[in-house]
Amino acid sequence: MTNTTYGDANSNIGNVSNSYNTINVGIEEESLRIQEWISPLEPHKKHRDVRNCRLDGVGEWVLRRCEFESWYKSQGDPTLLCYGGQGVGKTYIRYKSILPKQWTMLTRNKISSLVIDTLRKQTRGRNIAVIFLYCDYQTQKEQSAVNMVGSLVRQVALRAPRIPSEIKSAFDESMAEGGDGLQLPDMVKLFVKVIGSIEVVYICVDAVDEVLPQHRLQFLRALRQIIQEAPNLRLFLTGRPYIRGELDKNLTKRAYAIHIVADQGDITRYLSQKMDDDDDQDPGLMTENLKNDIMKTMLEKASDM
């Protein structure tokens, strides 16, 4: 009898375990369905790629600017724009007359990734969310305003152990009506709801100028509404200089702004690292005279920008 009893007990334990695993799988599958329903955009993949090729120390002068400090500490307007044109540090540094290759030093998305990682580090363990978007002209069709706001909602959902009830309810209602996605006004309302219990929400939007104009207009106006309704929100954007005019008209006229220039410290650090890398791969390629000539010429070019 004892053996039989233990056999039944083990069988019951197995059944409970299998049921538990089945429930977990069902919850995970539903969570994935909800995430995909909210937005197809997955900025974490882009962030991972960018941070892996970012050089330590490059761009950190941005973090020391008084505009960044004031913005981070919620002093004044909740919006900060980093802007600059082609060839001014945030984009590309080239030296083709000596080396037939393009050297990328500090792109806009590297500034964004630096800000994202810095905010994450400084706010770790607190009820603060750091969420972001990487805009890209190659995926403009997917970068509609509703998908971009939806991606922000999706990231908030991923912070929680389970999908927030507000998002689950919106999903269930949508499924009951045919499964169509939310319209932009409803997505904005949903986002404001799900961030209500978070102390501070930092949104970083990289290269906003690469969004199609009609989508960008809707997106900026959606951000304006969110800022008006969510006082716990701070917004960081990067873009080309003309974006300042669009922000003044459609978002805010009081935004902090940092003009990204070719910083000589960044250039020196970047070139030194790259020349050392090339020297390691081909010890005969880089002579000291060549290194000095490259450094001197690049710093002179940067000072003329």
- The residue extents of the domains of the chain are 1-38, 41-303
Q: What is the pTM of this model?
A: 0.78
- CATH fold, domain 41-303, is Rossmann fold (3.40.50)
- Distance of alpha carbon 280 from alpha carbon 243, whole angstroms: 41
**What is residue 104's predicted lDDT score, i.e. its pLDDT?**
43
pLDDT tens-digit profile, the chain (305 residues): 445 444 565 555 555 455 444 445 567 888 889 999 999 999 999 999 988 888 777 788 999 999 999 999 988 899 999 987 644 433 223 333 333 333 344 566 788 999 999 999 999 999 999 999 999 888 888 999 999 999 999 999 998 888 999 999 999 999 998 888 899 999 999 999 999 999 999 999 999 999 999 999 999 999 999 999 999 999 999 999 999 999 999 999 999 999 887 666 666 767 776 677 666 666 666 677 777 777 777 666 655 55
- Distance of alpha carbon 64 from alpha carbon 72, whole angstroms: 11
Long-range pairs, 166-175, Cβ under 8 A, ≥24: 166/190, 166/193, 166/194, 167/34, 167/38, 167/194, 168/34, 171/33, 171/34, 171/37, 171/38, 174/37
**What is residue 66's predicted lDDT score, i.e. its pLDDT?**
96
3-state secondary structure of 208: helix
Neighbours of 15 (CB within 10 A): 10
Cβ 86 vs Cβ 259: under 8 Å: no
